[in-house]
Amino acid sequence: MRIAVASGKGGTGKTLVSANLAAAAMVDLVDLDVEEPNAYLYFGEGETSTLPVNRPVPSIDEDKCNLCGECARVCAFGALVRLPSRIHVYEELCHGCGACTRLCPQEAIIEVGHEIGELIRTRAGSRQLTYGRLRVGEPIAVPLIQAVKEALPMQRMTIADCPPGTSCLMVEAVRGSDYVIMVTEPTPFGAHDLILAADVLDRLSIPHGVVINKDGPGSGNIEEICADRDIAILSRIPFRRDIAERHARGKLLDRPEDRRRFLVLWDAARREMKI
C-alpha cells in the first residue's frame, strides 16, 4: 500500500512531512520528485544500487522509409518532421507513445532506448529508500516516475514524496496511491493551490486529508476550505524556528513531541484509510 504526500505548491513542507513520517512509522520511502530528489539527505546513503532508465524513441531505417510522412502526421507532439530527404526525430519532444512505430506503412521505424535518468535504491536502517534522478536537460519526467513506481515492492507499506504542484508529474506520482496527504500552509497561495490539488484528487477519486504546516495566524482560511470540502485535517505542524532550521540542514525533527506528532499523523491517515 502507498500513502502519497503531495502539495499544490512548492515549499509547503512536503518533504519535511514525508521524511519524518517514514522515520516515525518505520516504513519505506520513495522520492518521486525526480527533477530534484532530496529525501535521501535526511537519512544518508548506505549500500546503493543504480540502474539507468530509458524511454523509447523512434529510429528511422532510411533504406525502408519512402518519406510518406505518415509518422509525422500521427505524432501529436511534433517529434517527427518530414524533410525533403529524410525524417528528422526530435527526441526531446517524443513521449514514447509508439504511434509512429505501429502506423508506419513501410515498417521503417523501430524503437530505441533514450536514457532519461536513473533509478536509485539505498538502505536507511531497516527502511528502503528508492528515488529517481532525471538527467539534466531532459524535458520529460513522467516515464522516470513510472519506472520508480514499478520498482516498488507491492507488499510493503510505502510513503511517497511527490512533485509539487498539479501538473502531469504530480498526477502520475499520486496515481495508484491508496491515500494522499496534502501539505499546505496558511498563506493565500497555499489556500489557492490547496483547492487546485483537491480538485485533482477528486477527479482521480483518491481519498485525501490535509496537514497544515507553519500553523498559526491565517490558518482559519485553510480550515474553512477543508470544512467546505469535507476534508479531514490530519495534523498541524507549528511555525517554529527550530523546525525550519533542522529542515534546512536536512535533519529529521528530534523533539519527542514532534515524533509523537508524526505517529499521530500516521494513525490518523490509517484510520482514514480504514486499515
Is residue 49 over pLDDT 80? Answer: yes
SS3 content of the chain, % helix, strand, coil (to 5): 35, 30, 35
Mean pLDDT confidence for 4-13: 93
In this prediction, residue 219 carries a pLDDT of 76
By percentage, how much of the chain surpasses pLDDT 70?
99
SS3 211: strand
218 confidence band (pLDDT: 50, 70, 90): confident
**pLDDT one-digit tens code per residue, 219-271:** 779 999 999 999 999 999 999 999 999 999 999 999 999 999 999 999 999 99
Is residue 154 over pLDDT 80? Answer: no
Is residue 27 over pLDDT 80? Answer: yes
Q: At what angle do helices 14-25 and 256-273 cross, to 10 degrees?
A: 90
Is residue 48 over pLDDT 90? Answer: no
216 confidence band (pLDDT: 50, 70, 90): confident
Distance of CA 87 to the CA centre of its chain: 34
The bridge status of strand 87-89 relative to strand 80-82 is antiparallel
H helices of the chain, where?
14-25, 70-74, 99-103, 142-150, 168-174, 188-204, 219-229, 241-248, 256-273
**pLDDT one-digit tens code per residue, 62-102:** 999 999 999 999 999 999 999 999 999 999 999 999 999 99
Amino acid occupying residue 144: L
| Mean of per-residue pLDDT scores for the chain | 93
Domains of the chain (ranges; CATH) run: 2-43+125-273 (3.40.50.300), 55-115 (3.30.70.20)
CB 97 within 8 A of CB 63: no
159 confidence band (pLDDT: 50, 70, 90): very high
**pLDDT one-digit tens code per residue, 100-152:** 999 999 999 999 999 999 999 998 777 889 999 999 999 999 999 999 999 98
pTM given for the model: 0.90
Largest CA distance in the chain: 70
Mean pLDDT confidence for 15-27: 95
**pLDDT one-digit tens code per residue, 30-39:** 999 999 999 9
- Residue 160, all three cell numbers: 511517497
Is residue 275 over pLDDT 70? Answer: no
165 confidence band (pLDDT: 50, 70, 90): very high
**pLDDT one-digit tens code per residue, 180-207:** 999 999 999 999 999 999 999 999 999 9
